[in-house]
Each structure stands twice: as structure tokens, then as C-alpha cells.
Amino acid sequence: MKTESYADFSLRMHDASVGGRIPVNAAIELTYRCNNNCVHCYCSLPMGDEAASQKELATAEITELVDELASMGTLWLLITGGEPLLRGDFGEIYLHAKKRGLLVSFFTNGTLVDDDMVGLLAKYPPFVAEVTLYGATEETYEKVTRVKGSYRRCIEGIGSLRRAGIPLRLKTMALTINQHEVEAMDRRAAEWGCEFRFDPVIQKRIDGRVHSTPERYRISPEDAVRLDRTFPKRMQEYERFCAKFVGPPAVSERLYRCGTGVSSLHINPYGMISGCSMMVREAFSVRQKGLRWIWEEGIRSVISGKKTFSLPCDTCRLVNLCGQCPAWSVLENSSYDRESGYLCGIAKTRERSHAFLRQEAG
């Protein structure tokens, strides 16, 4: 029997999906509600928010969507939130997706993992379960989550998942109040035999509500560079990435150039579907239009939309690095025609600070 590496297979599937415009990757947020109250969260609502829970897609609506995704060729499904385990029907939805032959992953804060959940996941393993750590110590962790006892519950949750042999990854968001513990979190993950990643980029709330003010917890561009340097392996990967992708952008009239909506789609808790989680302006309601129309007509028209203004980004060599895109512009500035100063600042600071990025300029 031949053996093929997962990376090669994944690449082949993605190439095929782009050619055929198949949504091989889908993500669904089951709820924006969460039992934590993280200072930096871009979407969370209180766990008991009745009005929010009334609006959420019902179990049957979600399982129908899963069936339709499977028939449209989705292979990878990410279940996320808010905290997806907060919904009593998480297990049912998860199992439904597994039985349709999807490779199901989920993101969780790890605090609601009980024996039943572990039993289900042990029998029907996820592609990967990803738990977010908010600190390496109880004090820091709970400064972020603002919920007493959440640290202990998370550590216990991770312990149960590990003991059951569930494929597990850990991650964190680097914030002003936990950045000093990112290294310690990385060490802890290594002790547990888990892959670990962190992200220093914090997005604003997508709904303008006040439960959290993420931008107040953004680390400075200098701190982002310092963290880059703290992790040599990550830095090497970043250097390789830069070697490949730094350079002036190809000329394009398109508004969206990132490839969103070509092989992936995103479903929010209320059935609004778009190319990705950040495209809040260009989302279509599945309750009004149906998934197929949204994919074939709605999202297609969004991604073929033309750009009618110019930006410094049009000729910038860092365009593939900084993460700037129209969705970010809208979230940061409420309009398409200005780049995100925040993303730009991080990218330009990196360019000045990392020799491999500067040299390219010559």
C-alpha cells in the first residue's frame, strides 16, 4: 500500500478545491456566548444572554447545514464560538459531522470538558481539539478570563483530554497582561507533548459591544518583535515565509485578494454566512437565501468585487505579511479605503527590526 503524507494530501485537496471552487474548509461558530469573559475577546457575550441564545441556529438547522456542506465537498470542519461546549447540543452536532465523513476540529477554552464529552471524543476522535490558554499561572490566566476558578477547570480539562489520548493543540493570544508568560505556556505545552502557537494580533470586537475592549490589550509592535525573537523555531519559519512572500503585490483590480471564499466559508451563530469570520459586512443569511445560493452567488459576487480606491498597500512589499485586508479596514476604520494602522505598524516594525526582512529591500 502506498503512503502519502498528510501535507501532500492537504495541498492536493486545496488545489483541487480552488480549481473547482469547492468549500473544502468550513467553520461554524455555534454561539458567541461564553462562560469566560476574556478582556480581549472579539465576540463573546455573557453565557446567560437569552436574547443571543434565542437567535442562534437550532440543532436541526445546524445538522442540515452540515449535511449540505458534506454534499458540497467540505472535508475540514471547524466548530468554534464563543465557547462551543456551552451548547448542550455540541456532542450531537459534532457526532453528526463526524458521521458525514468530515474531519472535525474544534476550539474551546477547555473549562467545560466533562466525562461524557471525553468519552465521546475518545470514541470518535476529532481531527484536533485546540484549547486556548490565557496564562501560565492562575493569577494571569484569570486576569484575562475574569472568572474565578477558570484556570483550575481549564487545566483539569486539558488533563482529561490528554489522558484520553485526544489529539490536542494549545494556543494563546499574546496580550499586554499575559505576554510575560507566553514562554512559560510554551514550556508547559511541551511538557504535555502538545503543539503550541500564539498570536500577537488582536482584532476589535465585531459587534461594537462593550463586554470587552480587545484593542486595549494589544501588545506594542516592539513587543511583537521581541516575542518573534524569543521563539527561534517560529522565527525560522517566519523567515522562510518572508523569503517566499515578500515583494510588491501583483496588479489586481479585486477588492479581496486573499483567497477567502474560494475554498472556505464561515457560518456565524445566527446563520450569517461569509468568506471568513471577519467579513461582517458581506455576510448572507442562510435563513433567507440557503447555503448553495450564498456560496454560488452571494460570496462569489463579494470576492469578484472591484476595488474603487487606492491605498499605499497597492505597491507595498509587505502586503502578504501584514494581514491587512478590506475586512480589517472595515473593522478598524469602518471603511474600506484606509488600511489598518495597527497591522501596518507591526509589519513596518518587523521590517525595520529583522535583518532578513531589511535585506530583501536592497
Binding residues vs ligand SF4 (CB under 6 A): 258, 260, 276, 278-279, 312-313, 316, 318-319, 322, 324-325, 327-328, 339, 343-344, 347-348
Candidates 70-78, 136-144, 285-293, 317-325 — which segment interacts with other proteins by CB under 8 A? 70-78
Grid cell locating 26: 468550513
> Judged by CB, which is closer to ligand SF4: 91, or 249?
249
> Judged by CB, which is closer to ligand SF4: 128, or 246?
246
d(CA 98, CA 90): 12
Grid cell locating 282: 458581506
Near other proteins in 147-206, by CB under 8 A: 165, 167, 195
Minimum Å distance from CB 205 to other proteins? Answer: 34
Cα separations in angstroms, 248 against 14, 92, 200, 316: 25, 47, 25, 5
Q: 231 with 246: CB under 8 angstroms? A: no
Q: Which of 53, 124, 238, 247 binds other proteins (CB under 8 A)?
A: 124
Q: Does 70 bind other proteins (CB under 8 A)?
A: yes
Minimum Å distance from CB 265 to other proteins? Answer: 15
Minimum Å distance from CB 170 to other proteins? Answer: 14
For residue 180, which of 227, 216, 119 has the smallest C-alpha distance? 227
Residues that contact other proteins, how many (by CB under 8 A) = 33
CA torsion, ordered 336, 339, 343, 344, to nearest 10 deg: 170
Maximum distance among all Cα pairs of the chain, rounded to whole angstroms: 59
Site string for other proteins, 87-106 (x = CB under 8 A): -----------xxxxxx---
> Judged by CB, which is closer to other proteins: 166, or 313?
166
Minimum Å distance from CB 75 to other proteins? Answer: 6
Residue 218 exposed, middle or buried by CB count within 10 Å (0-12, 13-18, 19+): buried
Q: How many Cβ atoms sit within 10 Å of the Cβ of residue 19?
A: 10
- Among ligand SF4, other proteins, none, residue 278 binds (CB under 5-8 Å by kind): ligand SF4
Minimum Å distance from CB 8 to other proteins? Answer: 8
- Among ligand SF4, other proteins, none, residue 325 binds (CB under 5-8 Å by kind): ligand SF4
Helix, strand or coil for residue 180? Answer: helix
> Judged by CB, which is closer to other proteins: 126, or 200?
126
Q: Does 265 bind other proteins (CB under 8 A)?
A: no
Q: 294 with 284: CB under 8 angstroms? A: yes
Amino acid at 35: N
Q: Which residues contact 206 (CB under 8 A, 6 or more apart)?
A: 42, 43, 277, 278, 280, 331
Cα separations in angstroms, 301 against 20, 22, 148, 211, 356: 16, 15, 46, 34, 38
Minimum Å distance from CB 1 to other proteins? Answer: 5
> Judged by CB, which is closer to other proteins: 207, or 237?
237
Q: Does 279 bind other proteins (CB under 8 A)?
A: no
- Among ligand SF4, other proteins, none, residue 190 binds (CB under 5-8 Å by kind): none
Cα separations in angstroms, 125 against 56, 155, 190: 26, 20, 21
Q: Which residues bind other proteins (CB under 8 A)?
A: 1-9, 12-13, 16-17, 19-20, 22, 24, 70, 73, 75, 98-103, 122-125, 165, 167, 195
